[in-house]
Amino acid sequence: MSVVDSHKLREQLSLYFIMGTANCRKSPEETLKAAIKGGATMFQFREKGPSALHGQALLELAKSLQCLCRAEGVPFIINDDIELAIQLDADGVHIGQEDEPAASIRQRLGSGKIIGVSAHNLAEVQQAISDGADYLGIGPVYPTPSKDDARAVQGTRLITEIREKGIDIPLVGIGGITAANTAPVIAAGADGISVISAIAGAADATAAAREFVQAIERAHIRP
């Protein structure tokens, strides 16, 4: 059973930055520093693709990024790699539908760690909640260049449907989100947005993150 503070988690999910070496225009460390400076509230280390690091190189980069997060009080989440998360005592993990179920991961990580699950339909949403997920990543909301295995684009429909059914678990939208199209995601009921390329691939990651922060703030005050 999770003891993660749901209210605090909603705030931390506001601007959820995700990246690995393949996504960065500059070094991962520079990119993460800049994103946090611009207002990123949570970070997920997602090392994927043909050029992905492995072994000691992966461990060293993960440690370096974790240190940056800890210094700024930003939760450090690891994508998929449960062993690495345990080794580093990361703040949590994010898993997909093809990964180990959240229930068994909870047994391995303990009650105080954040577990996020990607969900693409109501059945997956309900299963993830039953398994003890702390938050759900819903998408892809818009077309995305960041994932080769991305599913069919579904807009904000599922986020709206989840909220209309009275399901109150923290939600974050993901997939092709830019500052310009953030508002509908928040309006549908998401607590935050996940961003990869719009920040990691920006010439100025700090400015890009600030744009998102402003877009999120505007979305929350719209009637």
- Annotation says 147 is catalytic: yes
How far is 215 from 49, CA to CA, in rounded Å?
A: 30
146 is in an annotated binding site: yes
How far is 195 from 19, CA to CA, in rounded Å?
A: 8
- Annotation says 33 is catalytic: no
Q: Which of 26, 147, 163, 210 is catalytic?
A: 147
How far is 221 from 223, CA to CA, in rounded Å?
A: 6
140 is in an annotated binding site: no
147 is in an annotated binding site: yes
118 is in an annotated binding site: yes
- Annotation says 118 is catalytic: yes
Tokens of 184: 């509908």
26 is in an annotated binding site: no
46 is in an annotated binding site: yes
Residue 108 Cα distances to 43, 47, 86, angstroms = 21, 21, 8
**Residues ≥6 apart with Cβ < 8 Å to 146:** 23, 196, 197
Q: Which of 33, 106, 113, 118 is catalytic?
A: 118
How far is 19 from 106, CA to CA, in rounded Å?
A: 24
45 is in an annotated binding site: yes
56 is in an annotated binding site: no
79 is in an annotated binding site: yes
Q: Which of 46, 106, 113, 194 is catalytic?
A: 46
User: Strands, DSSP E only, in 147-200?
Assistant: 171-173, 192-195
CA 151 to chain centroid, in Å, comes to 16
48 is in an annotated binding site: yes
Instruction: Give the residue ranges of the annotated binding site.
Output: 44-48, 79-80, 99, 118, 144-147, 176, 196-197
Catalytic residues: 46, 118, 147
| Residues of the binding site for Mg(2+) | 80, 99
